[in-house]
Structure 1
Amino acid sequence: MAAHNDVEAFHQALRSSRRILALCGAGLSASSGLPTFRGAGGYWRNYDATSLATVRAFRTDPGMVWLFYAYRRHLALKAEPNPGHRALAALARRNLDFMCLTQNVDNLSPRAQHPSSQLKCLHGSLYDIKCSNESCDWIQRGNFDDPFCAALAPASVDMPNGEPLPLLDPYHRVKHITEDELPKCPKCHRGLQRPGVVWFGEDLDSAMMMDISAWMNAEPLDLMFVIGTSAQVYPAAGYIDKARKRGARIVTINPEAEDEAEMFKVNPGDFAFGKDAAEYLPLLLEPIIGKPNADGEFEMS
């Protein structure tokens, strides 16, 4: 049996595959300059970034939570889709039996022209806004205001000459943002507007989950890519075992994928490439999507 990182063997498997699933994490967008906020260094100011992604944090200090998300919105608006995003989008355009599940909320996959019918944003989007009142169903799609509101302007500052942003210095005092300075829901007039992302402890969209299950169960799967994620967050991580049971060979693309601690996850017939997805996905998918043109795009032949 070929080695787990044999590119030619993978290309043979890819050519014979029809139904393909992908699960993408923050590592896919790292080469676009977006921090992962998980693992080592996953801090924002003096906060564990994941501790800000909760309903409790928003109820306790909505201004601070909004500053964190306003900063992420600004970074993602400045970022550009990388070759990994574009390669997956090209695969989707060439293979209607390819489905991509992304945990990323940065909007880079849609900006790479990934067909919306073949992309499920599991954790929502930084650019969707919803009401924090759980009994209100108001939601606004595609809000790209930067800053989101006047009180959040410090999160949208671009410093000259690469100087550090004062907001990111935990010793730099930040003006407390009160609830009155944040927009309220235009429908119920009770709840504050909040980022339309899925926080820890919240359920993923049930209709989306049903769509994914229906697609996975319709026919057996051939391949599943696990890209730029440690696959530790459920229910997203559970799709790997589900895909195996549907017949898929697992293809992991992540800088740590070939570390000793990760290799025990690699079953016979699976592939693992300890590479940056932005660099390696175009190479791995080349038999299907071809080479990029001078603009970095993968054109239909």
Structure 2
Amino acid sequence: MSRITPSLEQAAARIAEGGVVAFSGAGISVESGIPDFRSGGGLWERFDPMDHATIDAFRAAPARVWAMFREVHRVLSRSEPNPAHHSLMELERAGVVQGVVTQNIDNLHQRAGSRRVVDYHGNAQLLHCLWCGARYPGSHPADEDGVPYCACGRPLKPTVVLFGEIIPREARERAEALAASARTVLVVGTSGLVEPAASLPVMAREAGASVIEVNLEPSALTDGVTDIFLPGRASEVLSALQGEVARLGVRSRD
């Protein structure tokens, strides 16, 4: 359990005022058994992203890309939302979190019960056809070559944003609208290095929002963007924050 420190009390008081937008990265899902792709033991140690995670690779050799996504789905099938995901859901239910923008593709915020989620980098549990636009659930069966196909005959691709693709317009616009309207930004488990996602907390701060950061270690955002830094495991810190907000009660400034 995270200790109730003056910084945590200050962060909880700001969160209790409402208008909070959470920005989550890989660090929030590590405790669910999903390693950061870039970390030791992560996906990029086994699959060269330039061979398996680019849009050009998918168009040229979809079976090769799907070999990687089968491993992604294997890991995701064994994962469950952890207390950090549930705490954000409870803060949304309490009316203080107005949206979650996640860089993760694991669908864990939705599985925890959060309803206002922007999958900024897509969702591995949803498939789409690049040619006709049809959409399918992630459970759509694969053919003998390991690739699921659309009714139009073309290979299906997870809605995950691959290298060489741009952020989908709807996700970008929803994320930017949330950033612009936020009173407080709650950054959880992100390095602040991956663009354009890393610019969203900066955009919110420039629009007048306070920035609260929860990370094991300082990130690229800590100096110059973050107002309150709360070190520690996301599950412990967010559980403590949610409990303190519940004790304070919602103090909306509307």
Gaps of 5+ in 2: 248-254
* Aligned CA-pair RMSD: 2.5
User: When the two structures are superposed, what TM-score results if normalisation uses the length of structure 2?
Assistant: 0.84
Would you say 1:144 and 2:109 are equivalent positions? no
The residue aligned with 2:251 is none
After TM superposition, where is structure 1 displaced by more than 6 Å over at least 4 residues in a row?
Answer: none
1:100 aligns to what SS in structure 2?
strand
Would you say 1:264 and 2:223 are equivalent positions? yes
Alignment of 1:1-301 (within 5 A): 6-15=7-16, 17-44=17-44, 46-49=46-49, 52-95=52-95, 98-115=98-115, 118-133=116-131, 136-140=132-136, 142-144=137-139, 148-149=141-142, 151=144, 177=145, 182-187=147-152, 189=153, 191-217=154-180, 219=181, 221-257=182-218, 263-265=222-224, 270-289=227-246
Distance change (3 Å), C-alpha of 1:132 and 1:5: farther
Is the contact between residue 118 and residue 174 of structure 2 (CA under 8 Å) also seen in structure 1? no
1:126 aligns to what SS in structure 2?
coil
2:109 aligns to what SS in structure 1?
helix
Distance change (3 Å), C-alpha of 1:264 and 1:212: closer
Q: CA deviation at 1:26?
A: 1.1
1:139-193 residue CA offsets vs partner (Å, 9 max, x unmatched)? 11x3335xx5365xxxxxxxxxxxxxxxxxxxxxxxxx5xxx5233213x2x211
Q: CA deviation at 1:245?
A: 1.4
1:97-137 residue CA offsets vs partner (Å, 9 max, x unmatched)? 5211011111111110111xx2111111111111243xx21
Letter in 2 for 1:212: A
Counting matched residue pairs gives 243
Q: For residues 192 and 126 of structure 1, what CA distance do their matches in structure 2 show?
A: 15
Gaps of 5+ in 1: 152-176, 291-301
1:79 aligns to what SS in structure 2?
coil
User: When the two structures are superposed, what TM-score results if normalisation uses the length of structure 1?
Assistant: 0.72
Percent of pairs with identical residues? 30
Q: For residues 20 and 184 of structure 1, what CA distance do their matches in structure 2 show?
A: 40
Letter in 2 for 1:183: P
Distance change (3 Å), C-alpha of 1:46 and 1:79: closer
Distance change (3 Å), C-alpha of 1:224 and 1:149: same
